[in-house]
Copies of this chain bind each other. A is one copy, B any other.
Amino acid sequence: MNFKFSTRTADMNGTATREIFKLLSRPEIVSFAGGLPATECLPVKEVREITAEINSGDIVPVLQYGTTEGFPVLRHQLLEYLTGRGLPAIADSNLMVVSGGQQGIDLMFKTFIDKGDVVLVEDPTYLAVLQILNTYEGKAVGVKSCEDGLDLEDLENKIIQYKPKMLYCVPTFSNPTGRTYTTANRKEIASLTARYGVMVLEDDPYSLLRFSGTAVPPLKSFDSAGNVVYVTSFSKIISPGLRVGAAVGDPSVIRYMTVGKQGTDLHTSNYAQMIVAKYLEKGYLMPNVEKSLPVYLERKSAMISAIEKYMPEEFSHTDPDGGLFIWGELPETIDTVRLLPEAIERNVAYIQGQVFYADGSGRNTIRLNYSNAAPEQIESGIKALGELFKEKLAGRY
């Protein structure tokens, strides 16, 4: 049979992350490739306690069909939680449960993107967004980033030039750079996009994982036009295996996203929703996040120290106050795409920075994840990488 696939499949090649999960199973590999939260910080004890409690209650509503908007007990907890996160007051109609932040992104594109529509993204941006956009046959255009956040002049120019439907961004501890937009930068983005009628998808999976610096309000808190949709996830702060997140936006947008979700999975798994609801209800979230922060800080610091010790002088990098990633840049002569197999031979994995660029540039960049390796592993992995890069820079190709 000669399959006549949809035209969107031509751009559906799976993301680098997909292939990377397979590498993780080789125990000798030090992987800086994934975006997994620290395994040591997963709330094993709490989830055991909560599931035992769910078991002792009436589980019939958990086993039966639920509503697409989300399990009422979870929605109730979310309204409180999200207000506490600095979002403006939220009504029932502003909120929906999603099966992980990924689904929030997918549903936003489903609601807004027609073939050929432009979505502005930070250069570099979360690679899965580029892939999801391909499934809607939209076009990603990169916006320059700067120390403060997005380069506002470039943002306005690109808005004028491309008339985009949407701006996608991760303003706090960005994936992949680890950078955080300043409050002033967020205000300007909110006002600029409102002025031009551009939707903003604020993706915020990491902001609670702040181990230094001062918290910055969500971009959504500066939204006066209703054009910002805020998507968050419990993957990095409770458990990614549950697949539970939330989306907040204008009621008309949330309604279309809900109808879209009805078509994709009817509703998020009730058992997972119940676990998150009880986790929030019992007040486990903040204490456990605080307990995990020293682990993340220790690992980030271990990576920064190792970088300073082993990386070539020419290696420039970010030094984030939270999140999971450090972003590195090498001289143009270093091609991180071509070097990946060699790195893996030396038992260390990373993600080539190229995949995070809308235009496929950035072959001299690299994303390093520090959250899921012990400090000793981080040292040995960065040492191996540093040696590899130094050899290449010395011309030993």
A contact residues vs B (CB 8 Å cutoff):
1-9, 12-15, 18, 21, 34, 36-37, 39, 42-44, 47-48, 51-52, 54-55, 59-68, 99-100, 102-103, 106, 110-115, 117, 128, 131-132, 135-136, 165, 194, 197, 199, 225-227, 235, 239-244, 250, 252-253, 256, 258-260, 262-272, 275
Taken together as a complex, chains A and B put the C-alpha atoms of A68 and B131 apart, in Å, by: 15
Question: Which of A5, A37, A63 has most chain B Cβ within 10 Å?
Answer: A63
Q: How far does the Cβ of A35 sit from chain B's closest Cβ, in whole Å?
A: 8
Cβ A271 vs Cβ B241 within 8 A: yes
- Note all chain B residues with C-beta closer than 8 A to A14: 258-259, 262
Q: How far does the Cβ of A343 sit from chain B's closest Cβ, in whole Å?
A: 22
- Note all chain B residues with C-beta closer than 8 A to A2: 197
Cβ B3 vs Cβ A252 within 8 A: yes
- Note all chain B residues with C-beta closer than 8 A to A15: 262
Nearest first, the 5 A-B pairs at minimum CB distance are A241-B270, A63-B239, A269-B269, A132-B263, A99-B265
- Note all chain B residues with C-beta closer than 8 A to A227: 1
Cβ B65 vs Cβ A240 within 8 A: yes
Nearest chain-B residue to A117 (Cβ)? B6
Nearest chain-B residue to A61 (Cβ)? B241
- Note all chain B residues with C-beta closer than 8 A to A117: 6
Residue from B64, B128, B135, B235 in contact with A42 in the complex, judged by beta carbons closer than 8 Å: B64
Taken together as a complex, chains A and B put the C-alpha atoms of A258 and B131 apart, in Å, by: 13
Cβ B256 vs Cβ A12 within 8 A: yes
Taken together as a complex, chains A and B put the C-alpha atoms of A7 and B275 apart, in Å, by: 37
Q: With A52-B52, A239-B64, A265-B103 as known contacts, state yes or no: A6 contacts B113, CB within 8 Å.
A: yes
Question: Which of A2, A61, A250, A268 has most chain B Cβ within 10 Å?
Answer: A268
Residue from B6, B12, B44 in contact with A59 in the complex, judged by beta carbons closer than 8 Å: B44
Cβ B250 vs Cβ A270 within 8 A: no
Known: A42-B63, A131-B259. 4 other contacts (CB 8 A): A34-B65, A51-B55, A63-B241, A131-B263
Cβ A269 vs Cβ B253 within 8 A: no
Cβ B262 vs Cβ A18 within 8 A: yes
Taken together as a complex, chains A and B put the C-alpha atoms of A250 and B225 apart, in Å, by: 47
Cβ B99 vs Cβ A6 within 8 A: no
Taken together as a complex, chains A and B put the C-alpha atoms of A18 and B12 apart, in Å, by: 31
Residue from B43, B106, B268 in contact with A243 in the complex, judged by beta carbons closer than 8 Å: B268
Q: With A42-B60, A99-B269, A100-B266 as known contacts, state yes or no: A5 contacts B135, CB within 8 Å.
A: no
What are 24 of the A-B contact pairs (CB < 8 Å)?
A2-B197, A4-B112, A4-B197, A6-B112, A6-B117, A6-B136, A8-B114, A15-B262, A21-B65, A42-B60, A42-B64, A47-B63, A48-B55, A64-B239, A66-B241, A102-B263, A102-B264, A102-B266, A106-B264, A243-B270, A264-B265, A265-B265, A268-B269, A271-B275
